[in-house]
A = this chain, B = another copy of it.
């Protein structure tokens, strides 16, 4: 894909695409453009390491081009993220349309300009859409897709498929409107917030607190209509409207004052925003925001709800892709051990000391077991197998601490197996210095899910195990295997 313009939004697009394994062709005359992409990519890598244990595809490549024509050459989709001014975007989009392949989709990241104003000078405007993402683009799944009256339905359909393929949730806007959907809601709230600041009812900090300690938590999960539906009880939305009708109508018909954005308001706003930041840099705040978003997205993923559903879907697709590209057999260490699981230490795995907490060692070792099971044909992550292996016994030795952000991998050895039994040895290593952090010895039994009882594994599974055993015939037996606590 081609990206025109970086900045916060363009850099976020680059990071999302590169992480998703998409090659990016960049045009941005600004001298800091590549640094912007690098820094977004670094943030995105860290965030995704915390977001999922599913392996990401090999990263895409970034090439930088000196002209629009060179950047868009051969691109399937061209994403424009130039400054939010019609006078800048319109000629840039026109230039891209003249150089692009005839069937390339041309998309604008505009957060509010109508597509029918932006496509006026384009060649083939039927392949133009607005695709409005949200900051940070590499984490938030939403992208609003909105065509002009000239946009062809096929263009919208193709654009939706492309954005979905990089883990996003496209929301097709039914018809052109200033600000699309999300920004109209954002603006309405923002207008009211500014009015409260202007009138000294509340400070920036207090207004943010009024959101993040209360309604903002519900918005993250459910939005506004579903939240209110719950307040109506079993009788639903009509009951809610009847119950709160008069009270509800009063404020929205009365409270429509609009603040004037003059210098005193600006000064007040700046002072309050500085006070709220309390000396924390944008870099620190951005890190905090990303860590919070990762945690929130993971929490919603565990419920398979809202934005968490998008993450779960993306993980299933990544998993399918990782399995399908794996034509070269399992990755094997020099000693014949299998290296099937890589991960990074994320903030929520830490204890108060900044070390990975003990149950996360078993979490990582368990993920390595899942990776081995996937290798022999049993998908434990998405429950698509009729049988599974259950761990009955585990012996962990903690040898060294793991810290935030460290990349880890697990080397796995098959100690033995039978029709119903699997005996595994995991060694958890730190990537940077190859230090052995922990060992895990695990005994698993094969269980038929329908009956809940142990049962022989399928022939194909046993054959895969036999193959691994043969490959590891010369691998040394781990000295510490078979030990009891504190002994050999």
Contact = CB atoms under 8 A, between A and B. Distances in A.
Given A295-B300, A441-B485, A189 B225 contact: no
Given A213-B142, A303-B347, A423 B486 contact: yes
21 contacts: A84-B244, A142-B210, A171-B206, A175-B200, A178-B250, A185-B215, A187-B248, A187-B252, A188-B188, A211-B223, A212-B223, A217-B293, A237-B270, A237-B274, A241-B261, A295-B299, A303-B347, A358-B366, A361-B362, A394-B396, A484-B484
Given A196-B181, A230-B285, A216 B219 contact: yes
A233 B187 contact: no
Contact of A196 (B184, B187, B291, B297): B184
Contact of A366 (B181, B283, B359): B359
Nearest to A267: B238
A87 to B, nearest CB: 12
Contacts of A397: 392-393
B286 A230 contact: yes
A352 to B, nearest CB: 4
Contacts of A191: 188, 252
A321 interface: no
Interface residues of A, number: 159
Given A223-B209, A245-B261, A482-B485, A353 B285 contact: no
A85 B169 CA distance: 41
A283 B236 CA distance: 11
B398 A393 contact: yes
Contacts of A61: none
Given A193-B225, A237-B269, A352-B383, 18 more contacts: A141-B213, A175-B200, A185-B211, A189-B189, A213-B307, A225-B276, A226-B273, A226-B276, A234-B282, A237-B270, A237-B274, A291-B303, A292-B303, A295-B302, A391-B398, A393-B396, A395-B396, A396-B396
A332 B255 CA distance: 61
Nearest to A197: B225
A55 interface: no
A487 B483 CA distance: 10
A483 to B, nearest CB: 6
A112 B169 contact: no
A254 interface: yes
For the residues of A in contact with B, the DSSP-based class is helix
A323 interface: no
A20 interface: no
Interface in A346-362: 347-348, 351-353, 357-362
Contact of A212 (B221, B238, B261): B221
Given A247-B112, A357-B366, A142 B209 contact: yes
B270 A142 contact: no
Contacts of A277: 226, 229, 236
A213 B398 contact: no
Given A171-B209, A221-B289, A183 B251 contact: yes
Contacts of A213: 140-142, 169, 171, 306-307, 310
A202 interface: yes
Interface string A348-392: 100111000111111100100000000000001111000010111
B244 A210 contact: no
A30 interface: no
Given A112-B247, A229-B273, A363-B359, A266 B238 contact: yes
Given A184-B192, A237-B274, A247 B352 contact: no
Contacts of A296: 217, 220-221, 295-296, 299-300
A272 interface: yes
A162 interface: no
A226 B285 contact: yes
A264 to B, nearest CB: 13
A394 B394 contact: yes
A288 B266 contact: no
Contacts of A310: 213
